[in-house]
């Protein structure tokens, strides 16, 4: 531990909260720059809404959301319209403060007008979502799932999911929301940090019982009832991959700002906590993503009034120790060195045996004395094949991996990449955005950069002049900046650029669905930029 700063270079840096050390020039860091900002409730909701606009069916696992205070009039108007269309619809909504955690500041409402009574929305922005009124219950209790996801790499994208997670239970039997029970947090909110204070909370020595259990124990129970557990896991994996795909464009902008290409810097990885709710029909719903999931493996127990001690939690230990251990195994910088050393040993061993056979054979034919090492071994197989085929492997120390259990982290991307690659449109838009940022270390696009993008991609014409380009830039940038988005820099943020790009796509390809409009414009831009690059190379060679 280095509470006052680090002095020596390290292989792996494990930061407590966020990526903050500007003096790391090598190694690996357990946080991505900008992850805290990217998974905040408002930023996450915006990213998911963009993907829902492009692919509504693929992203229907995230509840309909509105951002407060800027979308309060829109929220009230849409609810009014939906009630007019369906008078029997009696919704409940959940309001979550943007920067809140551990259930802080969350409350339920029936009437949109009740939001105004809080008086803190202007100071503390929030997200309001449709409340899931029909969750899956176990022992008549509502629960959610905390799954641990390792984002091993951003470029190329590499995602792992832990094979087990935590199921965190409410502590009062669930009833559908009414005006009388809206305020019963132990019934409606699954947050461990809230329910721990309930008199009904049960600490258990078993991972199958109590107010916190393993997810695998819930799956066993569901399986015994005939539920299709394999499909449920498939749906959860799909949810995780799609969510990461929605987050990566923003993360890449932060990453190039903190660790510009061409400069020495660390690589990053991060363990994320996905909070998922299962509906009655076993459909998984994403509640939120936590950039700093708790890794505590004990809980406080009150021995006497005001006197506490830490007591081990078997369920936390079973899940979390495996996640940390296997994250370090996957990121282990010495692993490649050990593998390379082992391959080199095998290569040397095979070469030596080949030379020995060659020398013995020649000695039978002649009585001449030969110097060791003057004959080359014919290469009949690759080194990798030699590792498998060698009958007499060199004596080496047992690998540290041999003593460990099998990995609890399962790779899901790029393993299933072919099923999801078509969703990565905004990723390609972000690549265009980053290309025209100009100044390294910035996260916002200036007017000159935007004009250069339009000019290089040949998007202006008689119907869309450069004056119209400037107006589009000013209108969208001004509106996004008025929303309270990062004011440290002036210019167009990624979300604003994405909106402008969608506008351009809709102007150019009017008859197509939105995702085809966007895909067509991306391909056009990439093609024209590639042609421009080729032309410059030819000019340079000339």
CATH number of the domain enclosing 442:
1.10.238.10
Range of the domain at 256: 35-63+132-333
Query: H helices within 136-265, ranges in order?
Result: 185-188, 192-195, 215-224, 229-258
Residue 305 lies in a domain: yes
In a domain, 342, yes or no: no
Domain finish residue from 315, 333, 351? 333
Tokens (6 digits) for 124:
């503390």
User: Cα separation of 413 and 158, whole Å?
Assistant: 5
In this prediction, residue 26 carries a pLDDT of 78
Last residue of one domain, picked from the residues 266, 301, 333: 333
Whether the Cβ atoms of residue 244 and residue 269 lie closer than 8 Å to each other: no
Is residue 346 domain-resident? no
Specify the DSSP class assigned to residue 367.
-
Q: Rounded to whole angstroms, how far apart are CA atoms 532 and 526?
A: 10
Buried b (16+ CB within 10 A) or exposed e, 102-133: eeebbbbbeebeebeebeebeeebbbbbebbe
In a domain, 382, yes or no: no
pLDDT at 52: 97
Any long-range contacts for 55-64 (C-beta under 8 Å, 24+ apart)?
Answer: 55/423, 55/515, 58/242, 58/423, 59/242, 59/246, 61/235, 61/239, 61/242, 61/283, 61/284, 61/285, 61/286, 62/243, 62/285, 62/286, 63/129, 63/130, 63/131, 63/132, 63/285, 64/129, 64/130
3-class secondary structure, 169: strand
Domain count, the chain: 2
Is residue 339 in a domain?
A: no
pLDDT at 434: 94
Contact 457, 528 (CB under 8 A): yes
Instruction: Output the tens digit of pLDDT for each of the chain's 542 residues.
Output: 776 766 677 888 888 777 766 667 778 899 999 999 999 999 999 999 999 999 999 999 999 999 988 899 999 999 999 888 888 888 999 999 887 776 678 999 998 888 854 555 556 789 999 999 999 999 999 999 999 999 999 999 999 999 999 999 999 999 999 999 989 999 999 999 899 888 899 988 899 999 999 999 999 999 999 999 999 999 999 999 999 999 999 999 999 888 877 777 788 999 999 999 999 999 999 999 999 999 999 888 777 787 788 889 999 999 999 999 999 999 987 776 666 565 566 555 655 555 444 434 434 443 433 232 332 323 333 333 433 443 444 455 566 666 788 899 999 999 999 999 999 999 999 999 999 997 777 899 999 999 999 999 999 988 889 999 999 999 999 999 887 655 567 899 999 999 999 999 999 999 899 999 999 999 999 999 999 877 776 666 65
Give the span between the Cα atoms of 64 and 132, in whole angstroms: 11
Give residue 108's pLDDT: 92
Q: Is residue 104 part of a domain?
A: no
Say what the pTM is.
0.85
Helices assigned H by DSSP within 483-512: 494-508
In a domain, 251, yes or no: yes
Do 166 and 272 fall within a single domain?
yes
What pLDDT does residue 249 have?
97
Rg, Å, the chain Cα set: 29
- Residues 275 and 163 placed together within one structural domain of the fold: yes
Of 269, 303, 333, the position where a domain reaches its end is 333
Q: Where are the beta strands (DSSP E) in 402-514?
A: 409-413
**Domain assignment present for 211:** yes
What crossing angle do the helices spanning 514-541 and 447-456 adopt, rounded to 10°?
A: 80
311 and 449 belong to one structural domain: no
| Whether residue 191 sits in one domain with residue 45 | yes
Q: Say yes or no: 181 and 53 in one domain.
A: yes
Are residues 211 and 203 in contact, defined by beta-carbon separation less than 8 angstroms?
A: yes
Q: Are 315 and 431 members of one domain?
A: no
pLDDT of residue 111: 87
Of 121, 40, 38, 44, nearest in space to 76 by CA? 121
CATH number at residue 259: 3.30.470.20
d(C-alpha 395, C-alpha 23), whole Å = 42
Instruction: Please report the pLDDT score of residue 398 as a whole number.
Output: 61
């Amino acid at each position: 531990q280095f509470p006052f700063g680090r002095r020596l270079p390290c292989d792996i840096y494990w930061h407590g909260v966020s990526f903050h050390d500007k003096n790391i020039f090598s190694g690996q860091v357990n946080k991505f720059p900008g992850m805290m900002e990217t998974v905040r409730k408002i930023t996450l909701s915006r990213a998911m809404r963009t993907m829902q606009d492009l692919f509504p069916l693929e992203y229907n696992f995230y509840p309909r959301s509105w951002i407060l205070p800027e979308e309060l009039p829109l929220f009230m108007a849409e609810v009014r319209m939906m009630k007019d269309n369906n008078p029997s619809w009696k919704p409940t909504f959940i309001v979550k403060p943007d920067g809140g955690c551990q259930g802080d500041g969350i409350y339920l409402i029936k009437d949109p007008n009740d939001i105004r009574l809080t008086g803190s929305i202007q100071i503390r922005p929030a997200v309001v979502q449709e409340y899931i009124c029909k969750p899956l219950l176990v022992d008549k209790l509502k629960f959610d799932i905390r799954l641990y996801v390792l984002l091993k790499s951003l470029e190329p994208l590499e995602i792992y999911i832990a094979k087990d997670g935590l199921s965190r239970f409410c502590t009062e039997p669930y009833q559908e929301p009414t005006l009388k029970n809206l305020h019963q947090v132990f019934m409606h909110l699954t947050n461990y940090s809230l329910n721990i204070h309930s008199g009904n909370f049960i600490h258990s020595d078993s991972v199958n019982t109590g107010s916190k259990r393993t997810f695998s124990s819930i799956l066993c129970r569901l399986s015994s009832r005939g539920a299709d557990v394999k499909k449920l896991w498939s749906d959860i994996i799909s949810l995780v991959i799609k969510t990461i795909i929605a987050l990566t464009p923003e993360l890449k902008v932060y990453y190039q700002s903190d660790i510009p290409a061409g400069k020495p810097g660390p690589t990053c990885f991060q363990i994320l906590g996905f909070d998922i709710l299962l509906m009655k029909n076993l459909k998984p719903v994403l509640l939120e993503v936590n950039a700093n999931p708790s890794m505590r493996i004990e809980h406080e127990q009150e021995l006497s009034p005001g006197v506490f001690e830490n007591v081990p939690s078997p369920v936390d230990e079973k899940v979390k120790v495996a996640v940390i251990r296997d994250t370090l195994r996957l990121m282990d910088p010495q692993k490649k060195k050990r593998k390379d050393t082992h391959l080199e040993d095998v290569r040397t061993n095979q070469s030596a045996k080949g030379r020995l056979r060659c020398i013995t054979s020649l000695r039978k034919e002649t009585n001449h004395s030969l110097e060791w090492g003057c004959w080359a071994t014919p290469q009949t197989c690759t080194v990798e094949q030699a590792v498998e085929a060698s009958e007499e492997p060199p004596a080496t120390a047992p690998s540290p991996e041999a003593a460990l259990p099998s990995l609890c982290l399962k790779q899901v991307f790029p393993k299933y990449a072919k099923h999801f690659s078509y969703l990565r449109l905004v990723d390609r838009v972000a690549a265009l955005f980053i290309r025209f940022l100009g100044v390294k270390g910035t996260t916002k696009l200036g007017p000159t950069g935007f004009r250069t993008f339009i000019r290089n991609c040949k998007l202006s014409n008689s119907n869309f002049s450069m004056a119209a380009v400037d107006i589009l830039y000013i209108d969208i940038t001004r509106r996004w900046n008025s929303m309270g988005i990062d004011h440290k820099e002036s210019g167009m943020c990624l979300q604003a650029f994405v909106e402008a790009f969608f506008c351009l796509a809709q102007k150019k390809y009017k008859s197509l669905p939105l995702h085809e409009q966007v895909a067509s414009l991306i391909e056009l831009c990439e093609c024209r930029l590639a042609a421009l690059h080729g032309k410059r190379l030819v000019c340079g060679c000339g």
